[in-house]
Amino acid sequence: MASQGVAVLGPRGSGLTTEQSYELGSQEAVGDGKVGEILCLFLTQQDWTQWKTGGCFCRTDRGFHLFVEEKEACGEGEKRQLIRTPRTAQIRPVRLKNGNSTNTYGPGGKREETPSKPHTNCPAWNGTSHLALSIHQITHPQISAKSRVYATFCGNTRSSPSPTGYRLPSSSRSPAHFGSCAIGPHPGTNRGLVPEARSIAEYRRDCDDGIRPISPRQRDSAVLRVSPLSKTTPPINPPHASCSKEFCRTRDEIHFSLEPLLPAELDTPPFKEIIMVRLRDGMWLPAEGTATEYAEEVYYTTEIEGGKGLSLLCPTRKIKTRGHTLNASTVTLDVKAEFDGVISVEATHWAGALNKGPHFELFPDGRPPEAETKITKGDKGTTTLTSGSLSATIHPDFDIQFHSTDGAKRLTSLGSRSVGLAYNPAPSTPMQTGDMRDFKHYMFTQTTLGVGETIHGLGERFGAYNKVGQSISLWNADGGTSSEQAYKNVSFWLSSKGYGVFIDTPGRVELEVGSERCNRLQTVVEGQRLKWYLIYGPTPKDILKRYTTLTGRAGKVPSWSFGLWLTTSFTTNYDEETVNTFLEGMKARGSPVDVFHYDCFWMKAFTWTDFVFDSERFPDPKAQIARLKESGLCKKVCVWINPYIAQHGEAFKEAADKGYLVKRKNGDVWQWDLWQAGMGLVDFTNPDACAWYEEKLNTLFDQGVDAIKTDFGERIPTLDVEWHDKTIDPVKMHNYYAFSYNKVVYEALQKRYGADEAVLFARAACAGTQRFPLQWGGDCESTPEAMAESVRGGLGLGLSGFSFWSCDIGGFEGYPPPWIYKRWVAMGLLCSHSRLHGSSSYRVPWVIDDDDKSEEGCSQTLATWTKLKARLMPYIYAQAQTAVERGLPLSLRAMCIEFPEDPTSWYLDRQFMVGDSLLAAPIFEESGEVEFYLPKGKWTSFFSGEHREGPGWFKETHGFGTLPLYVRENSILVLGAETAVGAVYDYVRDNEVRLYQVKEGAAATLVGSDGKEIGVLEVGADGKLKDTVLLNGKISIKEL
């Protein structure tokens, strides 16, 4: 039940009265105050339109200011200082809500007394402003436990209301209608905090009104009761004083409540630090509240790293005289040759700033051989650094061109006003930056975008496939597939111009991709340095190979993981009998399950994740899992976990006592009630915590668990948090946590089952997490639009260096209609990994429809596509090995990876390649109509054998058992036996080998189900297949 709070608004004598008004008047601060936040309630004069909105935003010409008054440590004396706090940076409106509607007022707060329009017979409504409420969150690092905070609206204020502004007090109006205070509840009482009483004269002199700090923990469920007008002591010019309506004369109280803010909202945007993204307001003006300095020239150049790099000193003004070197900022730009085709650029403002961790694990498989590196001087003072096939040419007037070493391909550049530093809020003098507590500092670069250039990657993003025109925040969030947020933010993008860029920070990265400046891609990070790598291709395959050399490639995955996965779904009821019924039903209907997955409720409610099976439903999990495998109902078993430890589970006390959970700055375990009541967060910066977590996993492995679904890992706090590793920056740890979490689990699997047998099913990721396969797309709806979102997300993740991907077939949320389920089955079985999973409903086909016999029913459709994937396994598993070796996606491989020379391929977001040779176009219409594009060359339908000639667009109509699945010319497709069941069998026995317009040299690699290479089938000069002795049993060879 929400705590009641009473707040007095305005100075004493204003006519706003309440019982026990000043009982807490001496309270100076509430809570530890370490977070540096307060909530303020403003009672303001506003017109009727503004009053109806339930609050508005402060606007003055000079901005919103805070005065902070701090007591000295000795307790004697006080110091007062002005904190300039631009409204755009650090003041946020907080949602207002009451029990019934946005605003409730009238006698007793009854809704029916609310007028729908101003009273025509009420003089107070005629040109007179009225009271309105607005609640704001104010954040500033100088607010502490010692602080007494006042708000001021001094300066040139607007005398009349703007559409979003306050009407501030003036000499013609009583300030009784204007005031502010912090709101409760105070710990241990039902009374709110009240402001310090101030006189009217003092109020008029400096516009101050008392505000009390309040801890963010106490605002979660605060109910505010305001008694605005006393009938016995009316204020000057009270509203509605002469109105005959009962509503106006007897209004005794207005009820408002502060809508509970979940702790997640306090630690994720916008309830954490406000990140400044934009630097400019159009071409000519700076962004409001922001000061920007640009590198204007290269003052001098120094060779570094033994001739493998250049250090450029770049002042933020043109140096025309010696005097210009004084009182000026500089940016140091270090440009280094890393390896063939890769050059790094690091921009630094203040080199003495700590570069806190975590840091990406670069070159996990070792550095490649050094490229030919040279530095040459050119005409007009230019200097060129060459790293194998990539060069950077530097002009002294600050123009850095990146191009292929042969000069044939210009990639991108850093031109005028493209590198620099920014402050928010803007300091009015350089001396103010001596105390950086008042400011946020950012570094930025702007690389040029060419005409027609497209940008792709940046992780698993579900919006527009081409990122040009978008503002993107690389910040992991649990946002589903239908929002701008992403579970997997990867600071790498790939350009259609033949290059890629990797931003070397796990922290928050803000991108303006041809949005703030149409011809530039702007990167902004908080701090004093920004490092990135420019990676040359020229093809996407070359770029991805070099990028994954830098950040790592996916580990090999076992063949059994490519089979059909079935889950219990999320909130459904299930026990051993339910599981057996599902698996038996799947097998009987021709869709045998390779991997069965137990989702959350294999553990008791309120205990996640304590690694203990619910003994009431699963009294002997080890025996049950053994029975499943022995019966042949599934080959492997997976269970769900997350990195959160609920306090009601067995693991919490042990982890808390041993210091294995993330802590608050005061030493408390960091906890909240989102997801699991009182849950803590495993601290993977603590080696002992990692070892403890591995022990818990080993208990599951001992019970027969083979794979782990590593869910969550996105909602990682950044405020009031302290990690075991004190060198950690919490903001950087937010995204990087996904890497640490998945690494611990993946390595535990490798230790138990072997390097090539480890399999995850992970949701959160950042750069480098591709090393721990595999990933899936998160929570999607059961709609065709969500299916298309999932395809876009999978394509983007593949272009970010991830090789294996899956999605929830049929959609996670909701109840898919049969036609959506069947269309999604066709797409999902052509992903590298295929899983049936839902939220509150099962995903076995006979639950979707009960048509078990018709070829158009869900059961037969699933059986058709499960059978097809089983037959494709010799091709799929061989392609999987190649994908790992080259850093490529196996399926949902973007068309531009295979056909970069075709401009259309860079825009295709509803079709994909499966390996090198198969093109698939999912169907999103119930009717089966589909339009797709075939690049240049001859293509053959896998199902009908019909030939089509590209390039061109084609339309077809399909039932549920087929879709446009075309084979590229000069391909050898090795299929498994007609009798193949599941993903694991002999891949070189009783094969069907299809030859598609092959020429001499066409080849197909053969691998066994153990991943070991058997040999290569190759076409000779006579156009015939050689080395067929590698195949056993009955062989069928077809030329198509």
Catalytic residues, by residue number, are 711, 714, 779
Give the span between the Cα atoms of 532 and 521, in whole angstroms. 13
DSSP 916-974: TTEEE-----TT-EEEEEEEEEEEEETTT--EEEEEEEEEEE--TT---EEEETTEEEE
Judge whether 671 and 680 are in contact, CB under 8 Å.
yes
Q: Which residue has the tokens 């492995």?
A: 701
Give the span between the Cα atoms of 194 and 412, in whole angstroms. 58
Helix (H, G, I), strand (E, B) or coil at 61: coil
Q: Encoding tokens for residue 41?
A: 């309630």
Long-range interactions of 939-948: CB distance < 8 A, separation 24+: 939/966, 939/967, 939/968, 939/969, 940/966, 940/967, 940/969, 940/996, 940/997, 940/1040, 941/965, 941/966, 941/967, 942/918, 942/966, 942/967, 945/1040
Give the span between the Cα atoms of 726 and 704, in whole angstroms. 38
Judge whether 78 and 71 are in contact, CB under 8 Å.
yes
Judge whether 1018 and 1005 are in contact, CB under 8 Å.
no
Residues near 25 by beta carbon (within 8 Å), at least 6 away in sequence: 194, 196, 197
Give the span between the Cα atoms of 739 and 769, in whole angstroms. 5
DSSP 855-898: TTSHHHHHHHHHHHHHHHHHHHHHHHHHHHHHT--SEEE-HHHH
Judge whether 413 and 382 are in contact, CB under 8 Å.
no
Count of other CB atoms within 10 angstroms of residue 319: 15
Give the gyration radius of the chain's Cα atoms: 32
Helix (H, G, I), strand (E, B) or coil at 175: helix
Give the span between the Cα atoms of 739 and 275, in whole angstroms. 23
Judge whether 974 and 1004 are in contact, CB under 8 Å.
yes
Give the span between the Cα atoms of 6 and 223, in whole angstroms. 8
Cα distances (Å, whole numbers) of residue 421 to 292, 427, 483, 529, 927: 6, 13, 31, 9, 55
N- to C-terminal Cα separation, the chain: 72
Helix (H, G, I), strand (E, B) or coil at 264: helix
Q: Which residue has the tokens 């022995």?
A: 630
Cα distances (Å, whole numbers) of residue 510 to 496, 513, 735: 21, 10, 13
Beta bridge partners of 383: 377, 394
Residue 781 has phi, psi (to 5 degrees) of -85, 170
Q: Which of 814, 812, 821, 834 is nearest to 860 (CA)?
A: 821
Beta bridge partners of 1013: 1007
Helix (H, G, I), strand (E, B) or coil at 738: helix
Q: Which of 300, 358, 361, 352 is nearest to 325 (CA)?
A: 300
Residues near 80 by beta carbon (within 8 Å), at least 6 away in sequence: 67, 68, 69
Judge whether 646 and 611 are in contact, CB under 8 Å.
no
Cα distances (Å, whole numbers) of residue 555 to 367, 405, 501, 884: 18, 33, 23, 7
